[in-house]
Amino acid sequence: MAAGETQLYAKVSNKLKVRGPSLLLEPLLGMGFPVHTALKALAATGRKTAEEASDWLRCHRNDPSLDDPIPQEYALFLCPTGSLLEQLQEFWRESKRQCTKNRAHEIFPHITLCDFFTCEDHKVECLYEALKRAGDRIRGSFPLVVPLALHSSISYLGFFVSDSPADVIREFATTFAMEVAVLADCTVKPCAKQLHLTLAHKFYPHHQRTLEQLARAIHPGHSCQWTAVLYSRDMRFVHYQTLRALFQYKPQNEDELTLSPGDYIFVDPTQQEETSEGWVIGTSQRTGCRGFLPENYTEQANESDTWVKHRTYTFSLAMDLISRKDGEASSRRNGEPHPPQTPRDVSSIQALQATIARKSVLVVRHGERVDQIFGKSWLQQCSTPDGKYYRPDLNFPCSLPRRSSGIKDFENDPPLSSCGIFQSRMAGEALLDSGIRITSVFTSPALRCVQTAKHILEELKLEKTIKIRVEPGIFEWTKWESGKTTPTLMTLDELQEAGFNVSMDYRFLLWVCASAKKIKRKGNGSW
């Protein structure tokens, strides 16, 4: 290993010794992967799950560049959602069908906020923190509607962002760049050009009128919640062509690539002299291996198809406006004077009405449960003859909460496995990174569901401020309808004693029939 690489990996190791392994890195180290390759795999997969990273490492076991300290390139984009995104995607389809493909089709609809920059693998989490800090700082002033003006020339068609909203967006990009410089020691260059959303670029001049007609059908004032998205790409293949495999291909010679449908292949057009007709030489994104492949087994793909989506920040004033309204109501109750309404207040109320319409219910399944992994006899595997719990496998939970009727009731009300706990925490971390605001949590009385809710709230830093409302109506009672018995679930008192922040005041209305009997809540807090 070169001296420079040794220093880099030593720096990574020292940093980890100070901070400790992350939740994603620790499982990979436990599997025996070296620190530098584990960090590389996490960066290449967007630091989503340890499972994805380990799969990436297994696929790249023969990658000759696996140990090379080559960082990813990152960029920040402002992307539309909702009705505006649907209209833009329809324009993409129609413009490609009527006027053939142009440069804009290579990338999804977006406004570029900064140029691509490099970041060392062990500093990627710092980029996520920088994105959150910049978003939190600018969220209150971010425009609810970004006015877009259509501009057309002989080689370009797109929307320009007007000055005032553009200044706010530029401030966000500048803040992100400053935070990245402090947290990750990276140089980020915010976009200095006029902010724009490209519709078509480098097209044939005689297609200009058709493209303009298609663009006028887009109504940029329609509902749209803008989202800042952090992407990365492999810097080695920036100027390569991207192919997508259509069929499976098994190599006939050692210098040929294995292809599976959906594989992306990077091809350098300037390095095809040694290939035979109908063949190309390229590098597989899935395996990192280089070799020959039949060109007619592939099709052209877009440049951005191989980019990795890392974290997002969605701008929303909903919670700020609701908090402001609650604060004003509280002031009136306390007898404090209420200031006269200004035009800014009117616009805020209108914005509040618009955001209320966008409220959503987020449905989450519970994490992996022990009986899914260890079968119906899982309880016998972890019980001593005197009815005590012990941990026979690392995927069993460290301990079980106390139940008044003993360990036997866990048989029909199993807990999460260790992997299930990890999945729940990752779901909470993903929600935290996405900027989604949680106001209420309802869960089935099944232990695995209450556990999932608890771990998600812990990652959101809301475990002490939001109580879990246990709602029996969410439980899958129909599974037990034909049986002779129903599961014995933990009472609210038992859940609270076990450390779950459940609401003791929540009242529910439940009409569920099982074996022609109504399930009602008993006075002692059981079901």
Q: For position 377, which CATH number holds? A: 3.40.50.1240
393 assigned to some structural domain: yes
Q: Are residues 221 and 175 in the same domain?
A: yes
Q: Are residues 95 and 169 in the same domain?
A: yes
Mean pLDDT, all residues of the chain:
83
Q: Are residues 276 and 394 in the same domain?
A: no
Q: Residue 294: what pLDDT? A: 93
Of 234, 267, 291, the residue that ends a domain is 234
473 assigned to some structural domain: yes
Q: Are residues 99 and 248 in the same domain?
A: no
Q: Are residues 123 and 196 in the same domain?
A: yes
Residue 268 maps to which CATH number? 2.30.30.40
Of 299, 314, 329, the residue that ends a domain is 299
210 CB-contact burial (10 Å; exposed 0-12 / middle 13-18 / buried 19+) = middle
SS3 state of residue 75: strand
Q: Residue 478: what pLDDT? A: 65
311 assigned to some structural domain: no
More confident residue, 5 or 118: 118
User: In the chain, what is the greatest distance between 2 CA atoms, to the nearest angstrom?
Assistant: 85
Q: How confident is the model at residue 323 (pLDDT cuts 50, 70, 90)?
A: very low
Q: Are residues 148 and 250 in the same domain?
A: no
More confident residue, 225 or 479: 225
471 neighbors 446 (Cβ within 8 angstroms): no
Of 299, 315, 346, the residue that ends a domain is 299
Q: Are residues 120 and 218 in the same domain?
A: yes
354 assigned to some structural domain: no
Domain count within the chain: 3
390 assigned to some structural domain: yes
Q: Are residues 165 and 289 in the same domain?
A: no
Q: Residue 37: what pLDDT? A: 93
What is the pairing mode between strands 298-300 and 241-245? antiparallel
Q: Which residues pair with 292 in a beta bridge?
A: 256, 281
pLDDT digits (tens, 9 = 90+) for 264-304: 999 998 888 878 888 999 999 999 999 999 999 999 999 89
Q: Residue 149: what pLDDT? A: 92
Q: Residue 187: what pLDDT? A: 94
Lowest mean pLDDT among 165-179, 265-279, 423-437, 498-512: 498-512
355 assigned to some structural domain: no
Q: Are residues 228 and 247 in the same domain?
A: no
pLDDT digits (tens, 9 = 90+) for 137-164: 998 888 878 889 999 999 999 999 987 8
Q: What whole-number distance in Å separates Cα of residue 77 and Cα of residue 231?
A: 8
453 CB-contact burial (10 Å; exposed 0-12 / middle 13-18 / buried 19+) = buried
Q: Residue 474: what pLDDT? A: 83
19 assigned to some structural domain: no
Q: How confident is the model at residue 52 (pLDDT cuts 50, 70, 90)?
A: very high
Cα end-to-end distance, the chain, whole Å: 63
Q: Are residues 223 and 247 in the same domain?
A: no
Q: Residue 338: what pLDDT? A: 42
Q: What whole-number distance in Å separates Cα of residue 343 and Cα of residue 140?
A: 17
Q: What whole-number distance in Å separates Cα of residue 279 and Cα of residue 308?
A: 28
Q: Are residues 145 and 219 in the same domain?
A: yes
Domain range for 265 is: 241-299
Looking up tokens 């023969």, which residue turns up?
62
270 assigned to some structural domain: yes
pTM over 0.85: no
445 neighbors 527 (Cβ within 8 angstroms): yes
Residue 120 maps to which CATH number? 3.90.1140.10
Q: Are residues 151 and 226 in the same domain?
A: yes
Q: Residue 521: what pLDDT? A: 42
DSSP states of 258-270: -B-TT-EEEE-GG
Instruction: Bin 185: left if φ > 0, else alpha if -120 < ψ < 50, else beta.
Output: left
Q: Give the helix/strand (H/E) hosting 229.
A: strand 227-234
Q: Give the helix/strand (H/E) hosting 60.
A: none
